Structure 1
């Protein structure tokens, strides 16, 4: 996004500086419009107003460029007409104003007529005409104008077919044309409810797109995933497995290291679901649990993996090869400083070039490290023995759900086994979790309250269903250690499931997760390995308490007095309390404290998880400490981050479920071994009671001497604090109050 903003800024400057240049101004107006349209696409899901504003400006630039086109430059005219047609189509899809479709078709028809004269690439224009008919179809189908919608779908398929047929086999865009046609044919097949000729054609075109070696990964990955699903539906499992392995391999060709975090997440939204489907099909073909886990580790939580690679412990490398360790450490340090250099210097392109140079150096050093005996798999996906070693303190259960199937991969120190979960279907899980999210996100610490949509009984039914279909079968098949601890790793929709709260919670019932195990969550084995390798504070010697209870405009006042009192009683003069602070002050203080506790409002945005955050105060106004802010933090010895606010561990973006982006995971990547977060809105009273009980239990055995404040089992302290609150609650929907609190970490 930084590079896009820089391109928009630069093109605007050039447009402004060339008001009367008949040759260069139209060219830069078109370029400016292209960048603005890209901005529109970036913000379309997250910020509709910003997106439409950028699109309107793009249309204005394009129309002015067309009016000012250089005399006799017919090719420039064709390009401008084609782009205006595309931009009108985008606005049509966003506003549903059908007149925009007619305008877009006029532009594209004129462009196609010019392409006949110029012998231009007609297939590009045909592709765009097909897309505008596809958007018409979608809008008219929503309006229940089904006959008219069907006519537009037929036209879309016709033009998309023409684009494929007239494109040479070695053309760079042929793969995209195959994918577009396949998607239209799939829609036709879905509408008809049959597996006739459109089904066969869609399958073949997806396969052609997946195997189009000149196409970009963003074309081939979703095509391979869809082709794999077609082959799975036809019981052609080996070919389905090949295609999904291809999709996973292609993810690495996206060059994630070269992108900013925001750009990478935007890119990964386009290939959502690959990890889960690839794992499901791998299991269906009879491959091992270890193989399935390695697929997940490669294609799941890619962003977190990059952060971990930059911060992971290299003490073993330092002991064996100090010079290589020092080179690696120096490059990591220089890379970590680049975001501030870019922000403060304004020299975007110089900093970007430096980044590319440092990344090349990093790759060279890593290659050199892997040549050394014992380091052949440095920072790579764990193997079977390392998976099992990570389960020495208790079993680790990876739950994978997809449209194909659902399974648990259970890892103990002795074994890795796959447990099918046939009653856990993707569609059922989606329906159940939407109910739980709607019901849970009505709370005083939620900065964006959501209406309670359903009755309390339904929530209990969801938790009973989750117990029956998922947690009970897993626990019945899993050998626990004496600690009764278990770690949950999830993919896809399962990332929103309150596995720790599953079961029946009537008085005296032991048919629930809380009665059988002490739960922790972690996003991946790689992140768990990272956290356990960090040197956390050996004593809980100080706390940073961040509280916000001011009556901010549009926010409900919350009561943080219970948490403040407990913190003062336990930590005394080692407590740093920041009431109503600015984000900058908080970020400055975080590295100096082993415990950081937030008691404030929180929120999770549906389509922009990087901006999820905690509500702080600046100049009397609400401001946000975001996921992006925390991702820049590096805490050398963080012990506990307690996020006593709403939705701090909620995965809100359905297209980034495989990335597990939320505040709690960001704090873990920042260096905290233990993070306490919330899966949905936190009830104000419950937040205070659970937090107070947690700290009391955590430090119950400490002496008066500060050196005796030994680190207690954080997960156990939270478990019993929640149980205490749960058992004291009298109403049968108290699960909405105690259920959101979870432990993430080691």
Structure 2
């Protein structure tokens, strides 16, 4: 069983319920029976209402679990006795609304929250314009809507909270401190981020909280609150960026909050728990035992301060259980394992509260699954399955449903008695949920963060449908719709709509205007602008995307345009195979299969010997390939370079390539009848490998045995090309073809013999000279030596062929920042984000003679194929030569020379496709001397296109 039992967020973020339980594991006294006398607190509230003081001094009352229900009853009774004309009526409404949302925050009761919103909205309607209490009423409404967004997981609620919060800031009167309002906005933006995954939410939230920290006349409690919230925001930011500085700030602010906190109740417990979770996150990266020890110590202190009725009680239990489990895997001490089981059992005994806003079902499923990993008892296994299934069937928010459904499918496909048909039904429903995750204001990086959370689901969806013997075309289309989300959105914006312009010029005009506005957003939809109102940017982007959806819908209502910008139909998929068969390989924990597309139809092929665990192993083996003369952007000393170059041996690569040939590539070629019996064929058929998933990270074109004289390899039988998705292949094929031998080409050569910042020099002069000589008869070449990024972006607008000889880097945190290193005085990186801003109408071929230009830097984004090579293709280049890993400098020179020599063709071959030109260049280099022995030198080069 290979279930993923770790929470996607922080362990313990989402408890499965609340309530006292009777066991010998963990105990906490529930406090006094009945409520304390409420006379003094109620009298205090009445005094505050009469004098219009609604901000400071409420914390002790609103954090007391036992006081709140009595306060609610007394306030409601008081409200019924006061005439609406009484000045205290509006104040009572405000305080009652605040008490109710505080109670809802603790008990998770949505009815309390809805009632709170009713009272607060009524109070706002009764507040005269310019009244001093208007800001307080607005911020209370903002906080309540922020809390509701956690229940509903709807961005509309978060946006209402943001809207009211910024109105509150604007309504602050002279002499009134904005501190309370700034803190509330920071918290609201953190909640909004958990829905949208828009990093700007965190950045703006930090901005508001730092402004609050600088406000004068802070009391100790409010200062602690700001520090705690800053810690939370930096913690979220660290989980997103993986930047050590963000983690250190989260811990620094959290530690300061703990040290300054004097309260022994729930408030301090929450601060201790938040600090513990920050330490746990850093431990996962650093593996420092001191971090996990300190995390456990603080979480234990927090647990002793929580009542079992508090919403965070189970957060603490779950977090402690996983902390002990992590420490066990470090020190292997049995007492830590016992503590992990003990805390998991505590969650098992807790009572479910159906109105809880937390992911109770998912967390319960994870807890039993983790317990099963320890005990291996079938009872725990089945309880895990039941919890996941109940979670998927419940009315919880979509992300939790998806996570529960995913785990349910993984279990159901492995245990026949649980039912494959159930798994199919769940997959069909899950496919309807996925589109709701992508907010209209999401930037490329924000969307990628969501996709990172959904990693592996597309492959599992396809595996379930394949196991159920669904038609191959149906499985393939579902797979296509579930991946390449970023690429699909870029294609939509870049599609030229020539036919639309001819038949419906007015629609085309609106389409192009809206597309231009979207393109102007660049890759970051929401940029930091300290002077602008954040909600203004949000609304502007929402409207822009609404306009884009509306115009596409109007276009599709016209005959002949029903499929405008939609994924290819079965007929269109088969038409794409006119140049050669197209193959998609899919592997998951469930099964592995190939989907084969030819002009005559679509078929599937089971690949029982292809295992996901083994494929992952070979991805890790191939990824670090490099040598002391590679063209990546790493900065290292000579000794480090030599060590890196010897990390993997040529024999390991040969073993991996032979594995790929045996379990996947050879069976596919046999099924397609493409295994050539001729020793030296003059013409080989072309095949296109459509990427996505783990198999899209492997060198399928080089699979096999490359010993001298062997034909048990892919390059002896087919010319391989790659494409990110079928939609991207269709986009490329629809561009006009131009033969380099029939017209003079404009060839741009960008050379970086040296790079600022200490990067190693490259042997590019020989490469550039050879290309200039080879292309002199058919191209007008322009060589830019150490060009700036601006120079390149300008030159790309007119060139037909571009060649880059430089260092390259694949960003493993934010793939959109992967790039080519340029510049004379300082490093200037040409990134994927930059390519999003240009459209190269004359472009034909780009040759990226650099490292890792076709490498997906982040494993969890394998379904997206986000890299430099695919981005150049989407910017307009029909053919792209890219690299899967670190490139040998000498090999880069030789293969580039031979590529340009092959490109024009000769004799009957007046035109040689770039795919064949690269194939022949690589084969020629492989067969020279003993280059076949070290496949890492030449197997990195691939062709993207058709």
Q: TM-score, normalised by structure 2?
A: 0.71
Maintained 8 Å contact 1:540/1:711: no
Aligned-partner Cα distance in 2 for 1:62–1:472:
61
User: Which consecutive residues of structure 2, in runs of 5 or more, have no partner in the other structure?
Assistant: 1-198, 635-640, 677-682
2:540 is the counterpart of 1:354:
yes
- Report matched runs for 1:107-146 at 5 Å: 108=299, 116=307, 122-145=310-333
In structure 1, the residue matched to 2:40 is: none
In structure 2, relative to structure 1, the CA distance for the partners of 1:517 and 1:42 (3 Å cut) is same
- Residue among 748, 753, 759 paired with 1:549: 753
In structure 2, the residue matched to 1:214 is: 396
In structure 2, relative to structure 1, the CA distance for the partners of 1:741 and 1:56 (3 Å cut) is same
Residues 6-31 of structure 1 show CA distances to partners (whole Å, capped at 9, x for unaligned) of 32223212322345366765554443
Aligned-partner Cα distance in 1 for 2:837–2:312:
41
In structure 2, the residue matched to 1:9 is: 207
Residues 341-400 of structure 1 show CA distances to partners (whole Å, capped at 9, x for unaligned) of 965976472333211111111122222222222323322222211111111121111111
Residue aligned with 2:520, SS: helix
In structure 2, the residue matched to 1:62 is: 257
Deviation of 1:484 (Å): 0.8
- Residue among 188, 211, 233 paired with 2:414: 233
Aligned-partner Cα distance in 2 for 1:610–1:136:
36
Maintained 8 Å contact 1:228/1:240: yes
Maintained 8 Å contact 1:649/1:662: yes
Deviation of 1:608 (Å): 3.8
User: Which consecutive residues of structure 1, in runs of 5 or more, have no partner in the other structure?
Assistant: 703-708
- Residue among 785, 790, 799 paired with 1:584: 790
- Report matched runs for 1:24-423 at 5 Å: 25-44=223-242, 47=243, 49-60=244-255, 62-63=257-258, 66=261, 79-96=270-287, 104=295, 108=299, 116=307, 122-145=310-333, 147-162=334-349, 165-173=350-358, 176-192=359-375, 194-217=376-399, 219-235=400-416, 236-339=419-522, 347=532, 349=534, 350-423=536-609
Deviation of 1:195 (Å): 5.0
2:847 is the counterpart of 1:632:
no
Aligned-partner Cα distance in 1 for 2:579–2:696:
22
Residue aligned with 1:180, SS: helix
Aligned-partner Cα distance in 2 for 1:54–1:26:
15
Deviation of 1:81 (Å): 4.5
Aligned-partner Cα distance in 2 for 1:115–1:432:
47
Residue aligned with 2:658, SS: helix
Aligned-partner Cα distance in 1 for 2:520–2:455:
30
Aligned-partner Cα distance in 2 for 1:138–1:416:
46
2:655 is the counterpart of 1:461:
yes
Aligned-partner Cα distance in 2 for 1:80–1:435:
42
Residue aligned with 2:214, SS: helix
Deviation of 1:80 (Å): 3.8
Residue aligned with 1:699, SS: coil
In structure 2, the residue matched to 1:673 is: 878
Aligned-partner Cα distance in 1 for 2:429–2:220:
49
Residue aligned with 2:823, SS: strand
- Tell which structure's C-alpha radius of gyration is larger: 2
Maintained 8 Å contact 1:594/1:638: yes
Residue aligned with 2:880, SS: strand
In structure 2, relative to structure 1, the CA distance for the partners of 1:591 and 1:257 (3 Å cut) is farther
Aligned-partner Cα distance in 2 for 1:550–1:632:
27
Maintained 8 Å contact 1:55/1:91: no
Aligned-partner Cα distance in 2 for 1:385–1:279:
20
CA RMSD across the alignment: 3.0
Deviation of 1:136 (Å): 2.4
In structure 2, relative to structure 1, the CA distance for the partners of 1:571 and 1:92 (3 Å cut) is closer
Aligned-partner Cα distance in 1 for 2:317–2:507:
56
Higher alpha-carbon deviation: 309-318 or 582-591: 582-591
Aligned-partner Cα distance in 1 for 2:286–2:890:
42
Aligned-partner Cα distance in 2 for 1:542–1:722:
25
In structure 2, the residue matched to 1:471 is: 665
In structure 2, the residue matched to 1:486 is: 687
- Residue among 468, 478, 502 paired with 2:703: 502
Residue aligned with 2:797, SS: helix
Deviation of 1:102 (Å): 6.1
In structure 2, the residue matched to 1:452 is: 646
Aligned-partner Cα distance in 1 for 2:239–2:521:
27
In structure 2, relative to structure 1, the CA distance for the partners of 1:307 and 1:240 (3 Å cut) is same
Residues 452-474 of structure 1 show CA distances to partners (whole Å, capped at 9, x for unaligned) of 33432232222222112111111
Corresponding pairs, count: 723
In structure 2, relative to structure 1, the CA distance for the partners of 1:304 and 1:442 (3 Å cut) is farther
In structure 1, the residue matched to 2:762 is: 558
Maintained 8 Å contact 2:619/2:697: yes
Residues 644-667 of structure 1 show CA distances to partners (whole Å, capped at 9, x for unaligned) of 011111223221111112211111
- Residue among 699, 717, 720 paired with 2:920: 720
Residues 543-594 of structure 1 show CA distances to partners (whole Å, capped at 9, x for unaligned) of 2221111165543221012221133335568323222223333223222212
Aligned-partner Cα distance in 2 for 1:328–1:227:
42
Residues 690-718 of structure 1 show CA distances to partners (whole Å, capped at 9, x for unaligned) of 1111112112459xxxxxx9974111111
In structure 2, relative to structure 1, the CA distance for the partners of 1:468 and 1:93 (3 Å cut) is closer
In structure 1, the residue matched to 2:31 is: none
Residues 623-650 of structure 1 show CA distances to partners (whole Å, capped at 9, x for unaligned) of 4323333333322232111110111112
In structure 2, relative to structure 1, the CA distance for the partners of 1:160 and 1:666 (3 Å cut) is farther
Residue aligned with 1:317, SS: helix
In structure 2, relative to structure 1, the CA distance for the partners of 1:740 and 1:94 (3 Å cut) is closer
Aligned-partner Cα distance in 1 for 2:378–2:232:
40
Aligned-partner Cα distance in 2 for 1:294–1:672:
26
Residue aligned with 2:567, SS: coil
In structure 2, relative to structure 1, the CA distance for the partners of 1:745 and 1:99 (3 Å cut) is same
Deviation of 1:132 (Å): 2.8
In structure 2, the residue matched to 1:706 is: none
2:732 is the counterpart of 1:526:
no
Maintained 8 Å contact 1:487/1:521: yes
Higher alpha-carbon deviation: 512-521 or 339-348: 339-348
Q: TM-score, normalised by structure 1?
A: 0.90
